[in-house]
Amino acid sequence: MTTKATVTAAGAAAAYDCDVCVVGLGPTGMTMAHLLAARGLTVTVLEREPEFYGMARAVYTDDECLRILQHAGVADEAHADMIVDLPVQWVTADGSLLAQFREPTRPNGWPVSNFFYQPFLEGVLERRLGERREVTIRRGRSVTGLEQDDEGVTVIHAASRGAADGTADLHLDDSAQEHVRARYLVACDGGRSTVRTALGIDMAGTRFPQRWLVLDLQATEGSEPFTHLPYFDFVCDPELPTVSCPQPDRRHRFEFMLRDCDSTEEFEARATAERLLSRYVRVDEVTITRQLVYTFNALVADRWRAGRVFLAGDAAHMTPQFIGQGMNAGLRDAENLSWKLADVILRGAADTLLDTYESERKPHAQAMIRLSVLNKDIVSTGRPAAIRARDWGLGVATRMPGVRTYVGEAKFKPKPRFRPGSYAGLPRRWRGLRGVEGTLIPQVPLRTADGRPVRLDDALGQRWAVLGVGVDPRAVLTEPVWQRLAPVWARVFTMGGRPTGRRPEGTGSAVAAAAPPGLIDLEGTSDALSRWLTRAGARTGSVIVLRPDRHVFSVTPPDGHGQAVAALDRLLPGCAVSR
C-alpha cells in the first residue's frame, strides 16, 4: 500500500464522495459508521471480506458500551440476545469460590455485565447499518493506497478475496482500482491494520508468547450440557488455568492455557479438546464450532492521528482478553471521535478538537490494558508463593466490607473520566468531592412532563445538550456561541422538585408553567439525579453543558457562565454548516 501527501491550493474546490471513509466492518467500524451517520455525516465503509463470515471473538460488553450502542440506535435489539447481570468469579481448581464480581446498580441505565455471541451482535449492527441512507458499504474492497491534502483524503481500493481463511489478503484486479474522496479517514481495520502500517506508525507494549486454546461449543439438539456452569469463571488452576464463559443460544466458550512444553499441534487436535472438555461437560452433548491456539498482545499505537487519518479499535490498541475490553475499547473510540468529526465538519469547530481524541482515549485504553494483564497474572500464575498470596488476597476481599465492595462491584475498573488538561471541557473543579467535568453523566431514571419514563440519552438525542437546573437555560444564555452550538435545550427537576399549586380561579394558566416550545422538561424519578447534582455543585439556576458523548463539558452557577462561553468560543470559532 502506498501513501502520499499532496497540497491543495488555498480556495481550490474539493468534491467529496462522503464526509468520512471508514476502513473495516468489524464492531468498531460498524459502530463508527452508525454514530457518524446518526450525527449527520455521510459515510463510505470499505471492507476487504466479500461476505460476513461470523467469527466469534469478543464475548462481553458493559453498561458504558451498551449506552454507546444506544446512541447508535441498536442497543435494545442487540441486548435482547445477551445474557445479562451474570456474576464473574474467580474459583480454584476444585470449584471453591475465591471472589465474585456482581454489580447491583445500573448507573448508565444498562446492566454492567452482558455476555453475547459476536455473530449475533454483528448481524444486528450490519443489518441496521444497511437501513441508513447516509452509509454506503463496499464489501470485497481492500485499501491499496491513500493520498492526503489540505482538504481531504483520497482512498484507493481494489477488489479483494479477503482473508477469512487466514491467508494473506489477495486482490482480484489491481488494474481496476477505484477511489473514494472523503474529508477524513478512520482506520478500523484491526491489529494488522493496513492503513497504520502504510503510515509508518509503530505500536509499543508487550507481545506475549503465552499460548491459549479457545474452544467454542454449541449444545447438541435436546441436550443441556452447561446448566452447572451458570457464571463466568476464571479457574485459577496452577496446572491448567482455564476460562469458562456462558454465551447465548446454548453456547459456551472455554479457554485453556498451554505450558511452554505443550505442542500447538497437539492442542489443536480433536482428541486433546475432548480430553480437556471432559473435565466440565459430556463431550457427546456438545459440538465444537471453533478450536484455535492463539497468543495475545498488549500494544498501543505511538500516535492515533496522521493528518486527516485516524486509527480506532485494534488498529490503535490491542487489549488482552482477560477483562473482555478489547471490542469495548473500539466502541469507546467510535463514540469519542464521531461527534468531534461531526462538530468540525458541520459546526465549524476548531481542528484542534480532533487532537483531543487521542489525549482523551489513550490513557483509558492503556489503563484497561494494564488491568487485563494484571488479571491474566492473577489467573495464570503457577508459582507457589504467588498462588498463596493470590488466594489470601482474594479471600480477604470476600470478608472485609470495604474491600468486598471494591472487588465485588468492580470499582477497580478504570472509570470513563478524562485526565485534567487532556480533554475538551472546562477544568475539573474540586468541591470537597471530585468535580464532574470530564466525567460521564449517569443515565438516571427520568420522566417527561407528561409522566412518561424516558432514558436521558434518548431524550437529548445526538447533539450537545444544555440543561438548566429548574430554569429554562435559554433565558440566561444569550451569547452567539449558543446558536453556533445548536444544542438540545432542557430543564431538569429533581424528584418532587417541580413547582406546583392550584390553578387560579377564572384563568387557564397553571402556576407551574408548561415547557415553552423548543425546551424539554425532565424530572428525576429517584434520588439519583439529586445526588449527582449535589456532587456536581449544581443548584437551582445552574447550567450544565453536556457533550454529545454525554461527558460533562461544564457546570456553571447562576450568573457565572462566562467560563463556559469563553471555552465554547475557542472550540467553535466558525459558523454552523447547514445541510
Give domain limits for the chain. Answer: 2-81+116-202+302-377, 206-297, 430-571
User: How confident is the model at residue 251, as a pLDDT?
Assistant: 97
Give, in words, the CATH class of 2-81+116-202+302-377.
Answer: alpha beta
User: How confident is the model at residue 6, as a pLDDT?
Assistant: 44
pLDDT category at 394 given cuts 50, 70, 90 is: low
DSSP state of 509: -
Give the C-alpha separation, 43 to 474, whole Å.
34
The reply to whether 430-571 shares the fold of 206-297 is no
Q: How many beta carbons lie within 10 A of that of residue 526, not counting itself?
A: 12
Q: What's the distance, Cα to Cα, between the start and end of the chain in Å?
A: 34
- Total residues belonging to the chain: 579
**Grid cell in block for residue 214:** 479457545
Q: What is the pLDDT of residues 533-560, one digit of tens each?
A: 999 999 999 999 999 999 999 999 998 8
pLDDT category at 511 given cuts 50, 70, 90 is: very low
Q: ∠62-67-72 over CA atoms, to 5°?
A: 125
Question: pLDDT exceeding 70 applies to what percent of the chain?
Answer: 87
Q: How many beta carbons lie within 10 A of that of residue 28, not counting itself?
A: 29
In this prediction, residues 454-477 reach a mean pLDDT of: 95
pLDDT category at 181 given cuts 50, 70, 90 is: very high
Q: What is the pLDDT of residues 282-301, one digit of tens each?
A: 999 999 999 999 988 899 99
Contact 364, 416 (CB under 8 A): yes
**Grid cell in block for residue 202:** 509503530
User: How confident is the model at residue 385, as a pLDDT?
Assistant: 75
- On the question of pLDDT at 168 being above 70, the answer is no
- Judging by DSSP bridges, how do beta strands 141-148 and 2-5 pair with one another? parallel
Residue 233 CA, distance from chain mean position? 24
Of the two residues 430 and 261, the one the predictor is more confident about is 261
Give, in words, the CATH class of 430-571.
Answer: alpha beta
Give the C-alpha separation, 360 to 364, whole Å.
7
Contact 135, 144 (CB under 8 A): no
Contact 123, 116 (CB under 8 A): no
Give the C-alpha separation, 306 to 357, whole Å.
12
In this prediction, residues 311-337 reach a mean pLDDT of: 92
Of the two residues 123 and 54, the one the predictor is more confident about is 123
Give the C-alpha separation, 155 to 157, whole Å.
6
* Torsion sign over Cα 361, 53, 255, 217: positive
CATH 3.30.9.10 fits 206-297, yes or no: yes
The C-alpha cell 419514563 sits at 453
